[in-house]
A and B are shown apart, each in its own frame.
Chain A
């Protein structure tokens, strides 16, 4: 691949600011076009089942982005999505496809719940950082193990990460039914509810919890790590060609375990904020599928941490409007899943168009 593209490189590549901008725009225009194509295909699907796509998109706008209240709802929902998407995007730099972020989220949530029960009487300044550390550590160990199995035993990370997610959910069920169970939680086994002072509150001036700030900081941090540091550079090399990276003397194993563990830590943090800011206790509600939506977000953002921010907000808005769509249009709750499926397939098909469209190649314009 690399040899081919080198050979094809024109000797006099146009290098004006316009040409540069046009070349760069490929990575933005193609995903947006793919997103629109996916939405168009989904509109046809809605027409076939006899529903109005126009009403559907109007409801998404109304419930997701129409008012200050809906924006706050959207942003609250995008907080875990930002972190879940990083759990996919960071390992992706090394060429690993991790789809079990759900496991890190669930265990991060359980660790938070357990920590909060132990530190019920501790001051918030001590307890909340401990809860964050516990959540992140649980996620880091879980996904880091996937990376380690990949590097040291050659175990396919896509399959193992999803198996680990199922195992994580079983561990959570076992813990909240058994040792961590609050005896007062009858119908829905949960850990003890968090003490009031341990609940993570809202950002100043709006009704959105601190998870959003943590998610955005994590995205910016990840972007800097990948784009501006030598670790990120080494990871990209290892992702392109493991053998070349090893010959260069890069610590491929440490990079793989490190990046997967960091992704897992972010997933665990997502669980921590879900428990401490939204649910108020760890229970089955934290396995709400954020990890799976995160996969789609990371692919839509082309594994770029900064691009994850707008994409996660868009998907958060779609999920926020799900309830209203169900009630108003009499559609099942899986409608959003179907829509995500259409978008996902469209975005993957679009991969085939990179470097093929002449409009993005200023050198091709003249000929």
Chain B
């Protein structure tokens, strides 16, 4: 330890924590954003996140390469997304219920196959230190940024541009706003939704890989406690805009870092309640941004969650 910076450690730890904790939120919410823009909601991303974390850890441990782990998580997420998209394309099947089933299924499978990977140590994903200019180790620790976080920023910009300016983006938006209009244009809504859900699953898988390969950086059964689900709520808060998703993810990451930050300066009262801060924040945000009377601005019209 260098010099003691006292209570300044709290905001610093929150900023550092926001950067560290927000990455899984960011990836899951980008994936969910893409899926929801096509008019479907995938509540199963919590399961995808946990399964992604497990598969990334297992593959990174077996091969020694964390990036192969990320790839494995992406593939696993894509498969879960395809499964969700396929089942939802059957008539009369409820996408919310399927999401719940896949959430439980993904977690069950992850715990099943992950049992033997709880002990071993897999290689971590690399990080870049942006805090080299400072002498304080706390500042250096706070500004150690993982590459996946940077990729996440690039992805949110890319996704925003793609939805706005490209043919693919237009097709996704049309399908999400009116299935009938999409059919009239000669698009096949179920195919567009299937691919959007699969891509969304891949994003969530990467979020899971970050959990097990960087922060907290090990695999265990309690690795995610609702981050995947909070990310779904976060998309509503972000008004289905990938760039807002980034800011919302930072905010939620900061809330998630509150408990550990206070603990690091010796505040132990209300420890569990501070850990619940992200859930409370999500709930409060949902109460204030939802409305019983009118449809939300920016919401894809075909989305069942806002109807």
Contact = CB atoms under 8 A, between A and B. Distances in A.
Interface string B210-237: 0000000000000001100110110010
Contacts of A341: 101-102, 104-106, 108-109
A299 B100 CA distance: 11
Interface in B265-307: 270-273, 275-276, 279-280, 282-283, 286-287, 290-293, 305
A101 B275 CA distance: 21
Interface centre among B101, B102, B110, B275 (most CB of A within 10 A): B101
Contacts of A217: none
Counting from the closest, the 4 A-B pairs by CB-CB distance are: A341-B105, A337-B108, A334-B111, A170-B276
Contacts of A334: 108-112, 115
A153 B108 contact: no
B291 A154 contact: yes
B12 interface: no
Contacts of A152: 292
Contacts of A344: 100-101, 104-105
Contacts of A153: 286-287, 290-292
A340 B43 CA distance: 17
Q: Is the interface of A mostly helix, strand, loop or mixed?
A: helix
Nearest to B275: A170
A239 B234 CA distance: 27
B93 interface: yes
A348 B87 contact: yes
B91 A155 contact: no
A334 B291 CA distance: 39
A68 interface: no
A365 to B, nearest CB: 23
B230 A163 contact: yes
Contact of A155 (B92, B94, B272, B286): B286
A241 interface: no
Q: Is the interface of B mostly helix, strand, loop or mixed?
A: helix
Contact of A158 (B43, B102, B107): B43
B87 A160 contact: no
Contacts of B184: none
A345 B101 contact: yes
Interface of B: 43, 87, 90-94, 96-98, 100-102, 104-112, 115, 225-226, 229-230, 232-233, 236, 270-273, 275-276, 279-280, 282-283, 286-287, 290-293, 305
A337 B115 CA distance: 13
A349 interface: yes
Contacts of B110: 334
Interface in A165-182: 166-167, 170-171, 173-174, 177
Given A174-B272, A344-B101, A348-B98, A160 B286 contact: yes
A177 B269 CA distance: 10
A194 interface: no
Interface residues of A, number: 43
A159 B286 contact: yes
25 contacts: A99-B100, A149-B283, A149-B286, A153-B286, A153-B287, A154-B293, A156-B236, A156-B290, A159-B282, A159-B286, A160-B283, A162-B226, A170-B272, A174-B272, A299-B97, A332-B115, A333-B111, A334-B109, A338-B105, A338-B108, A344-B104, A345-B98, A349-B87, A352-B93, A354-B92
Contacts of B104: 292, 295-296, 337, 340-341, 344
Interface string A117-151: 00000000000000000000000000000000101
A97 interface: yes
B280 A159 contact: no
Contacts of B286: 149, 153, 155-156, 159-160
B128 to A, nearest CB: 32
Contacts of A227: none
Contacts of A156: 233, 236, 286, 290, 305
A344 B283 CA distance: 27
A296 B286 CA distance: 26
B272 A154 contact: no
B85 to A, nearest CB: 13
Contacts of A299: 97
B108 A352 contact: no
Contacts of B106: 341
